[in-house]
């Protein structure tokens, strides 16, 4: 397998990542792999195709569950701070808006602090502002624990409750594997126990789609987001699932770190040109398509190329609709994620047990689950009404 990477120091998430699901702050090892994928290959290609096909068919119908039916009523009158990694990222500003909407339903006073991509330590600065304001709770929106560990210690000493929303706690291996600092995290469907597993499963599904579509013969160019926690878990899920397909090959991997954003198209085009045998592309995070990969795919004009995209950003949905370049993405409702985080915090205030929020995902293609032009992906469940009923119980 050929791997295309740049030796650039890693920092917190980069700024102009419009359309990505989340920005996360702690990096991990990104050394080159020595084979087509990790894990023990499954020699029964037919079995791998059957399993992948079943997984895709299930995800087209939708992986998810109902809103919890039991839980505490609203802990009204709370002061809550939502700390966003970077409000210039559309998906993050959407999470913020809908977290405030959910907080209003609970009777909370909700303040927002824009972490500005952690410029000059802004993430920790936001946490300390919340402490100074005597907040009751903090929602860390795509702000991982490690970069703000000291500030979180101050918040916990002040009795402030902390909930992660698409964020990784300090006990996660990507954050050092230390002591947990969050009181809770936004939960998912019951079969997904953690934020890490949420992203692993989406990486796996991307591989399943390519395995099924190629009938177990995919020759893939994988574009991975490295140096960022969610990217590492997406890549892990993808690589392990591709390894189950004995007739498939990961012919090359383009490693994109946050610092590589300006060179995305150049790196991708170079790899695609050097690998004429490639008949499939996997793009782990949608901002990479927007930043140049979609344009490169259209320009390359390689008929028969199967392209699996990321998290169904508005741009990605448009590419799917156009029928060129990206052909599928994995939709998961931003609104339901925000409501799940707020419900988790309400449970913490009440010293109540956590509960699965039912949040899952769907495969979106031109033929399945594609929203109307100009509309973002939304969960098919009436989750807002469900949470409102729960909080008023």
Q: List, for residues 73-92, the tens digit of each pLDDT value.
A: 999 999 999 999 999 988 89
Distance CA 88, CA 86 (A): 6
Cα of first residue to Cα of last residue in the chain, in angstroms, is 56
Give the pLDDT score at 44: 66
Give the pLDDT score at 26: 41
Instruction: Please name the residues in contact with 307: beta carbons below 8 A apart, sequence gap of 6 or more.
Output: 280, 281, 282, 283, 297, 325, 326, 327, 328
Give the pLDDT score at 41: 43
Q: How many CA atoms lie within 13 A of 178 on its CB side?
A: 9
Distance CA 129, CA 65 (A): 36
Average pLDDT, the chain: 90
Give the pLDDT score at 4: 46
Distance CA 361, CA 59 (A): 7
Instruction: Output the six-digit token pair for 317.
Output: 């949905």
Q: What sign for the dihedral angle of Cα 363, 222, 232, 287? A: negative
Q: How many CB atoms lie within 10 A of CB 301?
A: 8
Distance CA 349, CA 268 (A): 47
Please state the pTM of the whole predicted model. 0.88
- Kindly report the backbone phi and psi dihedral angles of residue 307, in degrees, each rounded to the nearest multiple of 5, phi listed first: -125, 115
List the chain residues with pLDDT less than 50: 4-43
Instruction: Output the six-digit token pair for 61.
Output: 């119908």
């Amino acid at each position: 397998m050929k791997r295309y990477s740049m030796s650039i120091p890693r920092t917190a998430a980069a700024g102009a990542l419009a359309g990505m699901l989340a920005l996360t702050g702690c990096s991990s090892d990104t050394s080159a792999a020595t084979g087509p994928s990790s894990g023990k290959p499954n020699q029964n290609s037919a079995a791998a195709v059957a399993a992948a096909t079943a997984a895709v068919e299930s995800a087209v119908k939708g992986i998810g569950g109902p809103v919890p039916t039991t839980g505490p009523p609203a802990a009204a009158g709370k002061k809550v701070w939502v700390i966003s990694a970077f409000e210039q990222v559309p998906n993050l500003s959407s999470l913020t808006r809908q977290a405030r909407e959910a907080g209003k339903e609970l009777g909370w006073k909700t303040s927002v602090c824009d972490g500005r991509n952690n410029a000059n330590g802004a993430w920790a600065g936001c946490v300390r502002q919340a402490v100074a304001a005597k907040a009751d709770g903090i929602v860390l929106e795509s702000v991982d624990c490690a970069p703000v560990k000291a500030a979180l210690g101050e918040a916990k000493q002040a009795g402030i409750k902390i909930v992660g929303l698409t964020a990784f706690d300090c006990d996660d291996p990507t954050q050092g594997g230390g002591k947990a600092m969050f009181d809770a995290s936004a939960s998912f469907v019951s079969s997904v126990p953690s934020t890490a597993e949420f992203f692993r499963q989406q990486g796996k599904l991307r591989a399943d789609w390519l395995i099924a579509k190629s009938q177990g013969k995919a020759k893939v160019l994988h574009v991975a987001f490295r140096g960022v926690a969610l990217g590492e878990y997406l890549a892990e899920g993808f690589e392990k699932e591709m390894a189950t397909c004995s007739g498939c090959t990961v012919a090359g991997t383009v490693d994109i770190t946050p610092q590589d954003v300006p060179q995305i198209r150049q790196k991708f085009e170079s790899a695609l040109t050097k690998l004429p045998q490639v008949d499939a592309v996997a793009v782990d995070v949608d901002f990479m398509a927007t930043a140049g990969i979609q344009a490169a795919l259209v320009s390359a004009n390689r008929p028969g190329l199967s392209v699996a995209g990321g998290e169904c950003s508005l741009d990605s949905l448009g590419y799917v609709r156009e029928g060129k370049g990206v052909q599928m993405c994995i939709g998961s409702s931003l609104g339901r994620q925000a409501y799940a985080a707020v419900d988790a915090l309400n449970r913490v205030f009440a010293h109540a047990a956590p509960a699965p929020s039912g949040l899952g995902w769907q495969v979106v293609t031109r033929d399945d689950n594609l929203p109307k032009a100009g509309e973002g992906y939304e969960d098919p469940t009436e989750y807002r009404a469900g949470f409102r009923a729960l909080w008023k119980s």
